[in-house]
Structure 1
Amino acid sequence: MSSGPDALLARLDALRDRVAGLVERRSGDDPTAGDPLRGLYLTAESALRIAHQGQGEGRGEGPGGVPSALEESVEGGGHLPDSFHELALRFSLTSLDQHILLAALAPDVDRRFEPLYGYLNDDVGRRRATMALALDLLGTGPHDPVARGRFHPLAPLRAGGLVQLDDEDRPLPGQALRVPERVVAWLLGDDAVDPELVGGGVELLPSDEGAVPVADGVAARLAAVAAAGPLLLHLRERREGTAAEPVADALRAAGLPVLLYRPALADVPGGGDVPGRTGESEQAAALRTRTCTALLREARLRGAALLVGPLSAEPGALVRQLATGDVPVVFFGGDAYDPGWAPDAGILALDAPQEQTDAPRAWRAGLGQDDDLGFDLPEAIAPYRLGEAQIRRAARAAVGLAAFEGTGLTAAHVQLSARQQSAPLLDRHARRIRPAVGFGDLVLPDEPLGLLRELALRARHRDQVLGEWRLRTGGGRGRGVIALFAGDSGTGKTLSAEVVAGELGLDLYVVDLSAVVDKYIGETEKNLERIFAEADRTDSVLLFDEADAVFGKRSEVKSSHDRYANLESAYLLQRLEAFDGIAVLTTNLRANIDDAFTRRLDLVVDFPFPDVEQRVALWHTCLAGTPRAADIGDEITRCAKDFELAGGAIRSAAVTAGYLAAGHGGPVSGADVRAGARREYRKMGRLEPGVSLPWR
């Protein structure tokens, strides 16, 4: 046997000799053989000839004495190139299949076959081999049930995507055979990814046999099984990429290329699972089928494993089409595996464990710097829960960002790139705040200030304390950090949540309860589940402002409304137990929060109403960036004593003073400060100091 394009061309030369012999036999007694318009019309004489043709005529075993190619293929003659034999092993092709494939691809490699096939098809416009012509060249025909069966949709040639049938409105013998360009290119030695898959959510991850394989854990075990034989697996991930990417790395280290297919990135119109039942259009179903066929064909050609996910809400059709049993396939997603997706596939379903990643080592490797970075790397990356592949991408982005700004690498570059790798999709139900404040902007007593620092500390070290030290109790409890901020309006609860998020290098998402609470039964829980699930998956701080609206006390059931309200509270209690993120609840009325929620809180921070000294500090903090008159300090002290304002009200008063100063074109004066304080008192409906009520 021989290999390469030259061997294929030599085999095609032999095939062309057979085609020439068949042309000679057919033209020997064809009265229209010399007609220049032959194939454009059918004369009565030609019709009579076809009608009286004997059963054995027109085939390889007919009068002509040419030996049967079918006999050659079955009995060991007619050697095909190595690429055909390799293809036969990967797609379970018989020798007959290989010769059919050779006849079908001939016009794609040697255009001299086109006019010959046109003549033999009695139609100059049909220049590809038909099913009947391919079998004629092999010395058999459509009457042979064995040969005919090689064109069944479930037979290897068609099921593997090696041969396609055109002209489906014609009878099967007259349907033309087409070989996809990817198969032709592979047989000729071209190893580029199938053009049908490029840009369709498919990425080729080449094998990396030189890499150090994962030493232990589920990824290493699954890679070893997949390398030994086909594996069908579904991994349920708690966070996207935490299991799939390590499995991909382990498969590649074991010597298997990996085709990563993300269905969400594919251009598939419509949705659903079954056409006509769940909303998937016929166009979408056909496109999905073509994609699955091309994926499996590419995996077989490369000897690769498939990594498919995250799966959509209804992935049954996709799973059934890809779970063939002869290609290693790992499905992954956040939903539990449903046996109804592929009942007969024998898919192994596992909950992906949270394997520990040596994050500092991975970051240093990605940044390409082992020496001192100038900042505390473990401290900067502690709040982020990224897989190794995500860390590599984030590290590249951080290096690129520093180069773009023309500065050295800083903790801010690292944290920004890490946030981008886990940016949550919460904009529908939450408002994002990019923290722009720090602990220096807070004016609080020592106790709540210390609790806020402890909250940041818990968020940084939860994996070590709850994971490595195993201080987390059972019952499916997560590694989340949950705090309650309680205090009067304007005492700094929301600002403190922003400060904690900024200290951790995370974004703050304020949940819009008006978009969460729904009058329809069960919809509130669904909205909350979307928020919790997304917050679990990514790294951010979740803020439930006015939390008593959804975390309120359960009441005695006196009506159906009470019963469903209690169901919402019960759901939230269970969801907080399994929460893995960072959440802050704020309330003006701590007594309204159910005691069962309080037990599940890590910290409760009480925000007191500021005293005179704190109000003075708040005034100076709010006006720190403004031009101020020299004697403004005395007036600030008097206003702090005269006007009992919380921090939020003082900030509003300072803004009013700033506008008044801008209006008269001078610095902020004591009169501007007092005018702003009066304005806030009037807004609150309170009587100004020194002003008495008129007698009626």
Structure 2
Amino acid sequence: MSDVLLKRLGLLKERVSALTDARGAHDPSADDPLRGLYVSPERVEHLLHGPERAPVRLDDAYGGAEPDDALGELATRFGLTPLDTHILLAALAPDVDRDFEPLYGYLNDDVGRRRASVALALELAGLAPHDPAARARFHPGAPLSAAGLLTLEDAERPLPGRALRVPERVIAHLLGDTRLDGELLGVVELLTGETIASPFASRLGALLAARPTTVYLKGRGTESGTAAEALAAAGLPVLRHDPVYGDRQLVPVLLREARLRGAGLVVGPMPEQTEQAGALVRALESPGTVPVVLFGSAPFDPRWSADGDVLCLDAPPGADDTGPLWAAQLGADAEGFELAAAVAPYRLAPEQIRRAARSARTLAVLDGGPLTAAHVQRGARQQSAPALDRHARRVTPAVGWADLVLPAEPRALLEELVVRARQRERVLGRWGLRAGGGRGHGVVALFAGESGTGKTLAAEVLAGELGVDLYVVELSAVVDKYVGETEKNLERIFADADRTDAVLLFDEADAVFGKRSEVKEASDRYANLESAYLLQRLESFDGIAVLTTNLRANIDDAFTRRLDLVVDFPFPDADQRLALWWQSLARVPCAEDIDPGPCARDFTLAGGSIRGAVVTAAYAAAGRNGRVTTDDLLTGAVREYRKAGRLIVGRDDNS
């Protein structure tokens, strides 16, 4: 407990004692054991003609400022007058020292009312409830009530008789408790630890330190880190709140917590609905008291602000190098692998990096080995937004380069694509090679080839190499017959993908990225509008996307120009088919004399069909409780040929 607060309570108790003695000296019912339970005629006479209150000097009544004076510091932060400070101290006294309860009951002339009333708090300051300046300290707009430091109970009573109560969080703060308010648990996060501020965040932090204000950062999802960096650069603790996890009724509690701590607020992403966003901004505005940094993707509407004092800024692209922060969090544990390459695809805020590092260490302990790049990437993936799960099917990569059978040229292009995905923030951001016109930092590639040649598998390998998840867009849930709905669905996907570290796969992309046509009827014009939207959205995309098609000629040339890479997946030759057969059989129990050579030579199947043939052979072997034989492979190959409607020369139809 604060010694300074105890000292001030001791001085208040002396004042209470003096007032009690003064009451007893003139009150004829002072010794009545039933005093406070009824009003005697003598008591009425005393109330009507009792002595006037002696004036009390409030200035310096509780001593001047002292070191570790939590109450004095609170008074400064909340702009309290000496009378406000006295009222607050009188109101919280019974919550800290139970001796005040019977004393207050006596002074209130009611043994059941053991808290300070408005009249009692003013009487202890030598003031009367009819003093308009004194009554004004209890107005809802006055500092004590407006800041949530004091509540008035017993609304049905006249103001002088209303009891005063100080919220427990305020009392706990004055006693040295640094925990978050219980109402904020689960909806507010206290960010601690050192952070590396970008030049933009440093400049914004200097502004917020000089003039606490409300700032709105418009961007695509990485602004939380920038906002936290700015407040940390201003030398402030940071409270982070996502409006999704709390209602607007908590805003006064949030602002009070920030002022108690001398902290700044990071709030976002802002609601997409204009009415909700405006209500939240107006509730959070606190000019000159708490620096608030809001962020979101929606354009700022000046009508959101009640006083028009919100500073709206475009957040800079997420081009800051987070490598040093990763290294600081993982330290010597990351010496066994190339940390920079492992974390390059992730665009995480500083606090997310800290949580990811803790998760990575926990995963390493669970596996019983040293920390690896896979642990770090799994920890980082846990911090990515899960919003894409609503619009796409998530695939956790379970394959690698060894599972991919390709000629040298397309494989080299895939390796280049990995480099582009890892280094895009450096090249397009810090090196300034991003073109103008609002273009993003995204990497977009087209995989073209016949069905079964490995396009989807390659996308999974790419995601696995980068250490992120693969999201397959279900085009059936995207394309809509109603005008404009397809664009809305795609925008939701792109917006969520911008905020998620993942690879986005548009399978059979020519369904939405097809060629534009000459306008001959109304439907052609609307189809061309969809294509125009996609062209613009691809340019501003910040993530990693792969488009696949069986017919490259169907993709509009304007889309092709905006692609970073086009990878052609050729149909496998005999040697590659043999390698695919052996690869598919790698974990299957086989007969010792099995030979997939004839299948590779005689059946021109792509990789997907070869896998289907091996699955058929495996089921045949499992059905007889044996091993896969060459005949089983031939049966599977024939089955795949027939599924494709292809002619098999020299074989019986029943074979």
Q: Could you tell me the TM-score, scaled by structure 2's length?
A: 0.89
The one of 258, 263, 270 aligned to 1:311: 270
- Distance between the aligned counterparts of 1:338 and 1:120, measured in 2? 54
Deviation at 1:576, TM superposition (A): 0.4
CA contact (8 A) 1:493 1:586 kept: yes
Structure 1: runs of 5 or more not aligned: 269-287
What does residue 228 of structure 1 align with?
Answer: 210
Corresponding position of 1:263: 243
User: Structure 1 CA distance, aligned partners of 2:442 and 2:520?
Assistant: 34
1-side partners of 2:376 and 2:179: how far apart? Answer: 34
Partners of 1:213 and 1:689 lie apart in 2 by 69
Residues 184 and 254 of structure 2 are in contact (CA less than 8 Å); yes or no, is this contact kept in structure 1? no
Q: Which residue of structure 2 aligns with residue 344 of structure 1?
A: 307
8 Å Cα contact 1:3/1:81 also seen in 2: no
Counterparts of 1:603-642 in structure 2 under 5 Å? 603-633=565-595, 636-642=596-602
Q: Which of these residues, 196, 212, 220, is aligned with residue 182 of structure 2?
A: 196
Q: 1:426 to 1:171 in 2, by over 3 A?
A: same
**Alpha-carbon separation, structure 2, partners of 1:693 and 1:212:** 71
Contact 1:437 1:502 in 2 (8 A): yes
Deviation, structure 1 residue 567: 2.7
Q: Give the aligned partner of residue 676 of structure 1.
A: 636
Match of 1:530 among 480, 492, 510: 492
SS of the residue corresponding to residue 182 of structure 2 reads coil
Q: How many Å apart are 1:18 and its aligned residue?
A: 4.1
Q: Secondary structure at the match of 2:597?
A: helix
In 1: Cα distance, 2:96 partner to 2:579 partner: 84
What is the deviation of 1:78? 6.1
Q: Superposition pairs for residues 360-509 of structure 1, below 5 Å?
A: 360-369=323-332, 373-422=335-384, 424-509=386-471
Q: CA deviation at 1:494?
A: 0.9
Task: Give the Cα–Cα distance (whole angstroms) in 1 for the partners of residues 423 and 11 of structure 2.
Answer: 67
Correspondent of 1:218 among 200, 206, 218: 200
1:140 to 127, 150, 155: 127
Task: Measure how far apart 1:690 and its partner are.
Answer: 1.9
SS in 1 for 2:610: helix
In structure 1, the partner of 2:51 is 63
Deviation at 1:414, TM superposition (A): 2.6
Note the alpha carbon deviations across 1:59-91, whole angstroms, 9 max, x for none: xxx615x5223xx126x6564775444333222
Instruction: Give, in angstroms, the shift of residue 116 of structure 1.
Output: 3.6
Provide the C-alpha distance between the structure 2 equivalents of 1:627 and 1:41, rounded to a whole number of angstroms.
96
Would you say the 8 A contact 2:195–2:232 is kept in 1?
A: no
Q: 1:179 to 1:665 in 2, by over 3 A?
A: closer
Cα separation, partners in 2 of 1:488 and 1:205, compared to 1, 3 Å = closer
**Paired residue secondary structure (2:138):** coil
Separation in 2, partners of 1:504, 1:171: 68
Quick one: distance in 2 between partners of 1:614 and 1:135? 93
Alpha-carbon distance change, 465 to 527 in structure 1, aligned in 2, over 3 angstroms: same
What is the Cα deviation at residue 327 of structure 1?
1.8
| One-letter code aligned to 2:625 | G
Structure 1 position 335 matched with structure 2 position 295:
no
What is the CA–CA distance in structure 2 between the aligned matches of 1:382 and 1:86, rounded to whole Å? 44
Q: Read off the aligned partner of 1:9 and give its amino acid letter.
A: L
SS at match of 2:95: helix
| Contact persistence 1:542–1:582 (CA under 8 A) | yes
1:20-75 deviation line (CA, Å, top 9, x unaligned): 046437733x6xx66655544567x589x48x965xx6xxxx615x5223xx126x
* Paired position in structure 2 for 1:652: 612
Q: Secondary structure at the match of 1:586?
A: strand
Matches for 1:238-277 after TM superposition, within 5 Å = 238-240=220-222, 243-249=223-229, 251-252=231-232, 254-266=234-246, 268=247
Distance in structure 2 (CA, Å) of the matches to 1:8 and 1:693: 101
CA distance in 1, matches of 2:185, 2:572: 59
- CA distance in 2 between partners of 1:403 and 1:194 (Å): 30
Residue 107 of structure 2 contacts residue 120 of structure 2 at CA under 8 Å; is this kept in 1?
A: yes
1:73 to 33, 58, 61: 58
Provide the C-alpha distance between the structure 1 equivalents of 2:96 and 2:621, rounded to a whole number of angstroms. 83
Distance in 2 separating the partners of 1:693 and 1:304: 79
Structure 1 contact 19–116 (Cα < 8 Å) conserved: no
Instruction: Check conservation: 2:393, 2:471, Cα contact below 8 A.
Output: yes
**Residue 355 of structure 1: how far off its partner (Å):** 5.6
How far apart are 1:159 and its partner, in Å?
Answer: 0.8
Question: What residue identity is the alignment partner of 2:208?
Answer: A
440 and 102 in structure 1: CA distance in 2 versus 1, 3 angstrom threshold:
closer
Distance 2:291 2:476 in 1: 46
Distance in 1 separating the partners of 2:152 and 2:199: 46
Range 160-169 or range 512-521, more displaced:
512-521
Partner of 1:553: 515
1:257 & 1:167 partners in 2: Cα distance?
37
- Identify the residue that residue 181 of structure 1 maps to in structure 2: 168
| Distance of aligned partners of 1:112 and 1:376 in 2 relative to their CA distance in 1, 3 Å threshold | closer
Alignment equivalent of 1:596, drawn from 555, 558, 570: 558
Question: 1:297-320 CA distances to partner (integer Å, 9 max, x unpaired)?
Answer: 233333222222333333333322
- Tell me whether 1:19 sits opposite 2:19 in the alignment: yes
Question: Of 103, 111, 115, which aligns to 2:98?
Answer: 111
Q: CA deviation at 1:511?
A: 0.8
Once the two structures are superposed, what CA deviation does each residue of 1:536-578 show, in whole Å capped at 9, x if it has no partner?
A: 1222111011112222233344554444333322221111010
- 8 A contact 2:8–2:62 mirrored in 1: no
Bigger shift: 296-305 or 154-163?
296-305
Note if contact 1:616-1:637 (Cα within 8 Å) is conserved in structure 2: yes
Q: Secondary structure at the match of 1:426?
A: helix
- Distance in structure 2 (CA, Å) of the matches to 1:506 and 1:5: 54
Identity %: 61
Query: If the length of structure 1 is used for normalisation, what is the TM-score?
Result: 0.85
- Matched residue of 1:550: which SS? helix
The DSSP-based 3-state class of the residue aligned with 1:497 is: helix
Aligned counterpart, 2:140: 153
Partner of 1:274: none
For residues 78 and 419 of structure 1, the distance between their equivalents in structure 2, rounded to whole angstroms, comes to 55
On the 8 A contact 2:218/2:315 being kept in 1, the answer is: yes
Structure 1 SS opposite 2:266: strand
Tell me, in whole angstroms, the C-alpha distance in 1 between the residues paired with 2:425 and 2:180: 42
Deviates more, 1:142-151 or 1:444-453: 444-453
Moved more, 357-366 or 567-576: 357-366
Aligned position for 1:284: none
One-letter amino acid matched to 2:266: L
**CA 1:213/1:426 → structure 2, altered by over 3 Å: closer, same or farther?**
closer
What is the one-letter code of the residue matched to 2:256? R
Residues 551 and 572, structure 1, Cα contact 8 Å, conserved in 2? yes
Unaligned runs of 5+ in 2: none
Post-superposition shift, 1:460? 2.2
3-state secondary structure, aligned to 2:646: coil
Aligned equivalent of 2:541:
579
2-structure distance, mates of 1:389, 1:571: 35
Look up the SS of the partner of 1:124 in the other structure.
Answer: coil
1:95–1:395: structure 2 CA closer, same or farther, 3 Å change rule? Answer: closer
Q: Distance in 2 between matches of 1:112 and 1:458?
A: 71
